Structure 1
Amino acid sequence: MGDTVGMPGGRRVTASLDRPASDTIVVACPPHPQYGGTRSDSRLKAVSDALAPDIGCLRFDYGPWDEGRGERADAENALAWASERADAVGLFGYSFGAAVALCAAADRDAVTEPAVLSVLAPPARLTEHLDAVAALGAVDCPVQVVVGERDDTVDWEPVADRAADLGHAVERLPADHHFVGQADRVGETVGPFLRDHL
């Protein structure tokens, strides 16, 4: 585990920064906190490992549950924190975190826009504050959408279809929503895309 750091923004958000000496950082958004999603998620760790040894990874825990609003603000604050310390910042999210990442990347009022975005198993829409399909049209950086073809947990097809329509990279893996036993494959798919655009 990397260095533990606190995030700005007035919410109780703690993060781990892997490879803190790096001048390039990827912010990683975990899955749904009400279902056990934390910065220690195996898919987030696999992406962090794939970025080693030269790209840092900021994996954070969301603050108190706020139906998507606060969690999105947590991601935006993490992006701002990383941008103050790095020359280039990317963004990654898994499941709930994928919707959070997409909406944070699309926010025109946010302090920082990522240089690249990759999302894994993104739900189409979770709350009025987390509409991943709508957000895609407002994202200006290169985007990769990675889905499990056997995923019946979230409605990912509208996100993948919209991403393809916009010319973004869409990767389909033979997996379910949890990518059981495939964390390394997640890292091998996401890591190079992030690295190539940072």
Structure 2
Amino acid sequence: MPTERLALPGGRDVRASLDGDGDASAVVVACPPHPRQGGDRHDARLRAVSDALDADCLRFDYGPWTEGRGERADARTACDWAAERYDRVGLFGYSFGGGVALAAAEGVDAVAALAPVARLDDGTDVVAAVSEIDAPLWVGYGTRDDVVDADRVAAAVAEEGGTTTTFSAGHGVTGREAAVGEAVAEWFDGRF
């Protein structure tokens, strides 16, 4: 699958990789994990989702760190860019990026989060944000995840009628990336 490197427009330095041939009618915007812990658009979970999708995938890096405020703005910038070019836009994120995706999910067609944090560094309550989302929801997490409170987010998603999936794994779903990518792609394929 071809990849195009992009600089997204806006006031922040947001770099992205667009995976796909550009002929798709749908795209999934992928939010990386915590940038202060090495998270970027090349994360194995984001790559696994991109590789499994029938749709295109826009993986991006956050601009300068602002504890979640700017990172949510970066996700919205990426979604706005995608909405100008595609008929349908999905939003996905892993860990911190899962929280960002859920907190920034405005005007998208579907939202999926893997092992999302329950609260962003700036205090944004991701669990409360779930009830504000007007799109199909999916949350997956490892049953042995002792890093984040993804089960709290999953409970909120289930209350809203969304889909939850568990994996026999820890927070990083190490060794299960391909299976996670397939599960996320299959869920998005049912919505696009």
Q: Retained in 2: the 8 A contact 1:69–1:129?
A: no
Kindly state the Cα deviation for residue 158 of structure 1 after the two structures are TM-superposed: 1.2
Q: Kindly report the root-mean-square deviation, in angstroms, between the aligned alpha carbons of the 2 structures.
A: 1.1
Distance 2:41 2:86 in 1: 20
Matched to 1:44, the amino acid is L
Distance 1:184 1:159 in 2: 23
Structure 2 residue corresponding to 1:136, chosen from 117, 130, 134:
130
Kindly state the Cα deviation for residue 128 of structure 1 after the two structures are TM-superposed: 4.0
Structure 1 residue corresponding to 2:35, chosen from 33, 36, 42:
33
Q: Normalized against structure 2, the TM-score is what?
A: 0.96
Structure 1 residue corresponding to 2:155, chosen from 154, 158, 161:
161
Q: Normalized against structure 1, the TM-score is what?
A: 0.93
Distance 1:138 1:100 in 2: 14
Q: Which segments of 5 or more consecutive residues in structure 2 lack a partner in the other structure? A: none
Alignment pair present for 1:75 and 2:75? yes
Deviations 1:11-39 (A, max 9, x none): 01100000141221100000000000000
Secondary structure of the 1:125 match is coil
Distance 2:171 2:49 in 1: 16
Secondary structure of the 2:90 match is strand
Which residue in 2 is equivalent to 1:10?
Answer: 11
Q: Which segments of 5 or more consecutive residues in structure 1 lack a partner in the other structure? A: 108-112
Distance 1:129 1:72 in 2: 13
Aligned counterparts, 1:46-195, within 5 A: 46-52=48-54, 55-105=55-105, 107=106, 113-128=107-122, 130-195=124-189
Deviations 1:86-126 (A, max 9, x none): 01111100000000000111x5xxxxx11011100011112
Structure 2 residue corresponding to 1:23, chosen from 22, 25, 47:
25
Q: Retained in 1: the 8 A contact 2:35–2:62?
A: yes
Task: Give the % identical residues.
Answer: 51
Secondary structure of the 1:63 match is coil
Distance 1:62 1:129 in 2: 18
